[in-house]
Amino acid sequence: MSAKQTVCIIGSGIAGLACAIRLAVHGFAVTIFEKNSHPGGKINVLEKDAYRFDTGPSLFVQPQNVEELFKLAGEDIHQYIQYKKLDINCKYFYEDGTVINAYSNKEKFAKEVEEKTGEPAQHILSYLKESKNIYTNIGNVFLNHSLHKRKTITEHGILKALATTKPAYIFSTLHAANKKKFHDPHVIQLFDRYATYNGSNPYKAPGMLKLIPHLEMNEDVFYPQGGMISINKALYNLALKKGVTFNFNTTVQRIIETDNEAKGIVINNENHFADVVISNTDVFFTYLKLLNDKQQAKKILKQERSSSAIVFYWGIKKEFRQLYLHNIFFSKDYEAEFNSIFKLKNPYSDPTIYINITAKMEPGVHAPAGKENWFVMVNVASDEGMSDEAIISLYKKNIIAKLNRLLQFDIEPLIETETVLHPKLIEEQTVSFGGALYGTSSNSRSAAFLRHPNFSGRIKRLYFTGGSVHPGGGIPLCLKSAAITSQLIIQDSKKWKRYD
């Protein structure tokens, strides 16, 4: 009996974990090497002063991507993780005092919008129907298959998908598409926001991003019991169950390449050979540091980076009944904010604020009784300049002023513990160039096609997965990236000659 083919995965982000599970189930011997002391990449948890915070992604949609892994592994997902659907996907707060509850029930949400803004409910329902059609007929092809293989064109319906693609999806911006559909500025801004789900600018990103609301408003939003870290724990435990080996606190120095073929990795100046190497770290750093290919790394940087973030983790010694799990406080001038982030790369005086409060879902678990754990995030440029202490202080001042204004309460005296995350720390902790949360942005018509493929065209047996490569960043797309990458490896392995 021949030995199992061996796989080295660099990084244990969610895509790396999912790749490991898929390949282990298909008979590969998988080892993950992680520089941190824990798995999960951007998904982590912070415990401080009796408060508990999810430190990374906070939105859980398309649980079927996770369910698929457990089904493939023959395991009962409910033995690993529990989650429930939300009644309200998000609460939106505007400077003029308007508050919109994005109910999970589409008809109820459409009615809410009509009552609060005068925008006809039918406009909302029609938009969501179109969003579903774009995702079903176009998105499924582009997000679930490699765009860099001929097989995708001949066997997976890409030509049919392209035939159903309207010019406006490519040649119009998301903002222009939304402005054409809606007349009320509150509603336009609400749907413009979906460009931020992959770190992009709605005034530059293509109308194709109209497919993103489908994931949230047609397929619902969920909350995993214990917070987002529960997803990480579930996948880690499943990987262990399937025989995946983990090496934490282990920094990979480089990828071994001989005659244009990946042979393994180097750790502590020792060679670790493998049949397959997968990089689940930022593709820019993979080329720059692990392959010493400065030319290719420079080429990747020609694509505009996604936005980064400054996050304040605040322990708040009060409960705010008007808030929910997901809350957005919009800036008054959205276009000026995005111009500041992507063009000027300057701090913005009136940032849009996202607040996530998991204590709303599990009172007394994530914060002491009568208190709340606030994950307070603003989008900023993916640039180390945004990590300057003076800029962080300025953002804190502007955030507090805005929240005081819209919540009609003095927030600052309620903050009894604080931790700050900024672009430089994001880069250090997750090896994401400039702290870009999603790798490259979608601020061009061809952005989807410009993302790095899930395999190397030059180096055989070297593959890539995660948010910096196809199809993009965020938990759903990272899980899809893992599915694409692992399937490529399974298919390619059938062609490789084995010498036992």
**pLDDT value at residue 499:** 43
Ranked by mean pLDDT, the top range of 154-158, 268-272, 442-446 is: 268-272
Q: Is residue 188 part of a domain?
A: yes
The answer to whether residues 306 and 437 touch, using CB atoms and an 8 Å cutoff, is yes
**pLDDT value at residue 448:** 62
**pLDDT value at residue 75:** 98
Residue labelled with tokens 């070297």? 462
Q: Is residue 162 part of a domain?
A: yes
Closest CA to 39 of 66, 10, 14, 12: 12
Work out the average pLDDT over 284-301.
95
Q: Is residue 133 part of a domain?
A: yes
Q: Is residue 279 part of a domain?
A: no
- For the stretch 161-170, pLDDT in tens is 656 667 666 7
pTM: 0.94
Q: What whole-number distance in Å separates Cα of residue 500 and Cα of residue 496?
A: 12
- For the stretch 2-22, pLDDT in tens is 579 999 999 999 999 999 999
CB atoms within 10 A of CB 370: 11
Cα–Cα separations (whole angstroms), residue 104 to 72, 89, 219, 411, 428:
29, 6, 9, 29, 37
**How many domains does the chain divide into?**
1
Q: Which residues of 27-37 are buried (b: 16+ CB within 10 A; e: fewer)?
A: ebbbbbbbbbe
Q: Is residue 180 part of a domain?
A: yes
Q: Is residue 141 part of a domain?
A: yes
Mean pLDDT score of the chain: 93
Above 80 in pLDDT, residue 148? no
Q: Which residues, including other chains, have CB under 8 Å from residue 297's CB and lie 6 or more apart?
A: 284, 285, 287, 288
Q: What whole-number distance in Å separates Cα of residue 421 and Cα of residue 428?
A: 11
Q: How far is CA 150 from the centre of its chain?
A: 28
Q: Which residues, including other chains, have CB under 8 Å from residue 267's CB and lie 6 or more apart?
A: 33, 247, 250, 251, 252, 253
- For the stretch 376-387, pLDDT in tens is 999 999 987 899
Domain of 178, in residue numbers:
113-215
Q: Is residue 249 part of a domain?
A: no
Q: Is residue 259 part of a domain?
A: no
